[in-house]
Amino acid sequence: MPRHSERTQSWRVGVLFSQTGVTSVIEKTQLNGTLLAIEELNSAGGVLGRQIEPVIYDPASEPYRFRDLALQLTNVDKVNVIFGCYMSSTRKAVLPVVERHNALLFYPTLYEGFEFSPNVIYTGAAPNQNSVQLAHFLMESFGKRFYFVGSNYIYPYESNRIMRDLVRQSGGEIIDERYLPLDAVEEDFESVVVDIVKNQPDVIFSTVVGQATAHFYRAYARAGLNSDMIPIASLTTNEADIREMGAEVACGHYTSAPYFEGIETEENECFVARFRARFGADEPVTSGAEAAYFQVHLFAEALKKSGDIGTEVLRNELMGGEYSAPQGRVRIDPDNGHTYLWPRIARVDANGRFVVVATTSSAVKPDPYLVSPQVNDWSLRQFKIMQTAPHMANRSKLK
Ligand code: ACM
């Protein structure tokens, strides 16, 4: 397999983010993050004097399209580095292809953990970098009676299994758990909302993803519910979803993620300004976009050292690789190919912006198999809740 495009002497890489289908709203932001990093590197002269040449396809939010296009990239386009995937079902579809061809998938999305492949670099959060902190925060702030609502595929089932363990360890309970199709619309959530009102949990943990997210939050608001009564907390609801559902519907709900658009550091403000200058003032910057952006820079740093895009040499340079990302300094953990990240929790304000209410003082080592972390995880000692929730005030209105 040629290790770079022989005609142009460029470094050719594959890019698989959906521009159509149920998760296109978030994946377009990941495509933007990827392209921004590639363009920045190319305008600074490329890597070792060669431009990075992205081969971009639209897998339309369908796992089988991801698999077919990964095969196209490895077999026809002769690419061995792929940036892509949002839903875990799509990563699982690409995994056998990259393993069979000894290629490298850079995956910039939070996921359920319990996976390791030498052919994947995981740059989104593992459960010990978002779920553990969120469980702790929600039980401290609201109570221990949880209701789960999710989309019907692997990530919600597995993420709920982890959250259930964390809640039960602290003596909490799961009132019910519901799964809806990925293409569920507002009316589909009505019976779930009725059940929530009937059961009155302390908090809702949502693993609904993609376009259904706005439908769920809207159905919730239309039934007269809001975050003061029972907050919705998520690992996935992001700036692009809020743009879809509107500030009024999103206001007061929570997300746990390593990155939010409004993080007040110079690094992030410059990143957001460059992102907006390139893609438009209204384009949302998400946690997925930030990971998509910094993972290209981690790849470029490794490539600079290896001088060769071959999988083995590149992976050797990637392990332990560091980069000053917009969220803070990140590092690929040589133990497991996941990334040290900065857990945060944010609450949506009345203008539809995430305001960080809890954060860490250092990056947290990824533990994809949750070997040690539990709700009493050592890293929680560094996790500071800065703003307690304006909670419970209106709970009586439900009764
Ligand atoms: C996900 O499916 N990993 C969000």
**Closest of 100, 106, 93 to residue 61, by C-alpha:** 93
- Residue 388 belongs to a domain: yes
- Residue 201 belongs to a domain: yes
CATH number for the domain that contains residue 235: 3.40.50.2300
Contact 341, 363 (CB under 8 A): yes
Contact 34, 288 (CB under 8 A): no
Confidence at residue 384, expressed as pLDDT on a 0 to 100 scale: 79
**Closest of 363, 366, 361 to residue 384, by C-alpha:** 361
- Residue 382 belongs to a domain: yes
Per-residue pLDDT of the chain (399 residues; tens, 9 = 90+): 444 544 459 999 999 999 999 999 999 999 999 999 999 999 999 999 999 999 999 999 999 999 999 999 999 999 999 999 999 999 999 999 999 999 999 999 999 999 999 999 999 999 999 999 999 999 999 999 999 999 999 999 999 999 999 999 999 999 999 999 999 999 999 999 999 999 999 999 999 999 999 999 999 999 999 999 999 999 999 999 999 999 999 999 999 999 999 999 999 999 999 999 999 999 999 999 999 999 999 999 999 999 999 999 999 999 999 999 999 999 999 999 999 999 999 999 999 999 999 999 999 999 999 875 466 665 666 777 776 655 444 454 443
Question: Dihedral of the CA atoms 114, 19, 300, 90 (nearest 10)?
Answer: 20
**Are residues 88 and 205 both part of a single domain?**
no
Contact 107, 332 (CB under 8 A): no
**Are residues 101 and 69 both part of a single domain?**
yes
**Are residues 216 and 327 both part of a single domain?**
no
Confidence at residue 377, expressed as pLDDT on a 0 to 100 scale: 60
**Closest of 37, 15, 7, 29 to residue 241, by C-alpha:** 29
Rounded distance, CA 40 to CA 45, Å?
A: 9
33: left (phi over 0), alpha (psi -120 to 50) or beta: alpha
**Closest of 124, 91, 112 to residue 163, by C-alpha:** 112
- Ligand 1 pocket: which of 17, 85, 86 to mutate (most atoms <8 Å of CB)? 86
Q: Out of 324, 340, 356, pick the residue that ends a domain.
A: 340
209 lines ligand 1 (CB under 6 A): yes
Rounded distance, CA 374 to CA 135, Å?
A: 10
Ordered alpha helix ranges (H), 88-189: 88-100, 131-141, 154-169
Distance of CA 165 to the CA centre of its chain: 21
Long-range contacts of 39-42 (CB under 8 A, 24+ apart): 39/278, 40/274, 41/296, 41/297, 41/300
- Residue 202 belongs to a domain: yes
**Are residues 373 and 250 both part of a single domain?**
yes
**Are residues 270 and 310 both part of a single domain?**
yes
Q: Which residues of 223-247 are buried (b: 16+ CB within 10 A; e: fewer)?
A: eebbbbbbbbbbbbbbbbbbbbbee
**Are residues 241 and 358 both part of a single domain?**
yes
- Residue 399 belongs to a domain: no
**Are residues 235 and 359 both part of a single domain?**
yes
- Residue 144 belongs to a domain: yes
Q: Between β-strands 383-385 and 203-207, what pairing exists: parallel, antiparallel or unpaired?
A: unpaired
**Are residues 228 and 152 both part of a single domain?**
yes
235 lines ligand 1 (CB under 6 A): no
Interval between CA 193 and ligand 1 midpoint (Å): 23
**Are residues 377 and 229 both part of a single domain?**
yes
What's the domain count of the chain?
2
Report CA-CA distances (Å) from 60 to 139, 176, 395: 37, 32, 41
Rounded distance, CA 156 to CA 298, Å?
A: 29
Rounded distance, CA 157 to CA 162, Å?
A: 9
**Are residues 33 and 172 both part of a single domain?**
no
**Are residues 168 and 303 both part of a single domain?**
no
Phi, psi torsion values for 35, nearest 5 degrees: -65, -40
Confidence at residue 383, expressed as pLDDT on a 0 to 100 scale: 75
Nearest residue CA, atom 2 of ligand 1?
87
Strand partners, 121: 106
- Ligand 1 pocket: which of 89, 205, 209, 213 to mutate (most atoms <8 Å of CB)? 209
Rounded distance, CA 399 to CA 268, Å?
A: 43
Interval between CA 282 and ligand 1 midpoint (Å): 25
Angle at 344 between CA 341 and CA 348, to 5 degrees: 140
**Are residues 167 and 213 both part of a single domain?**
yes
The enclosing H or E element of 289 equals helix 287-306
Atom of ligand 1 nearest to the CA of 90: 2
Rounded distance, CA 281 to CA 309, Å?
A: 35
- Residue 308 belongs to a domain: yes
Tell me which amino acid residue 155 is.
Y
Confidence at residue 304, expressed as pLDDT on a 0 to 100 scale: 98
Q: Out of 310, 325, 340, pick the residue that ends a domain.
A: 340
Rounded distance, CA 233 to CA 202, Å?
A: 11
Interval between CA 399 and ligand 1 midpoint (Å): 35
Q: Which domain holds residue 218?
A: 128-259+343-394
- Residue 3 belongs to a domain: no
